[in-house]
Amino acid sequence: MVVAAVATAVSIPLVGAALTPAAPQLQPLAGGVAGAISEPGRTPVAAAPAVPVGDSRVSPARAIDADARFGPNRREAPTVSSLTGYRWPIPKGRITLPFKAIPGGEWINDGRLFHDGVDMASFCGAPVVAAHDGVVLAAGRRFDDQVGWIGDLGPYYHRLDVHHAWGNLPNVVVIDDGNGYRSIYAHFRDVTVKPGQEVRAGTLIGHEGATGHASGCHVHYGLFSPYETKTFGVRPDIVRRMKVPTHEVARIDPLLVLPGGDVALRTRSIAKAIAAAAAAAAPVVIREAGSFGADQVRRR
Ligand SMILES: [Zn+2]
């Protein structure tokens, strides 16, 4: 994908005109003025134009017409805080780069260069599984129609054709999570699913790799919310070089839905995050005085 000069094991802008018929809860984006992230029932509020990062030619954030984008089903989608059923794409390894502003980031969020997902790494060739039940929208290098680009991808595709550059893109899997949200996994060595295939949380979808612009094997995991009304800008030099649109639908922090995400952010350990989440969910047996051995089980 976008081959930008980023020093970290970072992502490439996975662009995306998010909306296709295959994803009923995400519909074609309309241009507009970026608004604040909305919760169900909230009316998007127009935000101030994004401040260019060292480049006055950066255009303001585009607006997303929430009605046009999400359609009538958007109010049926769960809020981020109530999402269930997510699991880690890899069970061990480290969080090598969180969802945050970073030097060299390929996206622009609120005027700062930004990393639009979570990078996690274990070892090259490690099995990577679906984080949630869903339906595969894209698998391989033809994924840009599914990853939230706002605008015409024609010039970008033409450039890839002319330069025979499709092979430079990362292997990516995009999955409609069936709840209005959409998961994106990037940099696979190889993928093991096909578009249209139904998957369960835990289904093998490919193997960890470093395809595309990556300094080492890792998984870049991104997440789209059906309630998002904000956009991320694309770094101007990338727009000029790759001929991609100037904006994508903003993504949300995947650690909000992955079990023990707060622990992962603090410790950078996926195993510790999983253990902490399991401990929090496990029944705790409490033997009370006078109960004569009758155990009471409760959840903490
Ligand atoms: Zn990344």
Q: What is the CA radius of gyration of the chain?
A: 20
pTM recorded for the entire structure = 0.76
User: Residue 54: which region, alpha, beta or left (left: phi > 0; alpha: psi -120 to 50)?
Assistant: left
Distance 222 CA to ligand 1 centre (A): 8
Residues with CB under 5 A from ligand 1 (ion): 10-11, 119, 220
Instruction: For 182-235, write each residue's pLDDT tens digit.
Output: 999 999 999 999 999 999 999 999 999 999 999 999 999 999 999 999 999 999
pLDDT at 22: 39
The 10 Å Cβ neighbour count of residue 285 is: 9
The CATH number of domain 1-258, selected from 2.30.40.10, 1.20.1630.10, 2.70.70.10, 3.40.50.150: 2.70.70.10
Q: Domain spans of the chain?
A: 1-258, 260-300
Instruction: For 72-83, write each residue's pLDDT tens digit.
Output: 345 678 999 999
pLDDT at 255: 97
Distance 99 CA to ligand 1 centre (A): 8
Sheet containing 134-140: order of strands? 94-97, 118-121, 219-224, 182-188, 171-176, 134-140, 198-199
pLDDT at 62: 58
pLDDT at 282: 84
CA–CA gap between residue 233 and residue 51 (Å, rounded): 10
Distance 68 CA to ligand 1 centre (A): 29
pLDDT at 106: 95
Spell out, as residue ranges, where the chain has pLDDT lower than 70: 1-75, 286-300
pLDDT at 37: 32
pLDDT at 21: 37
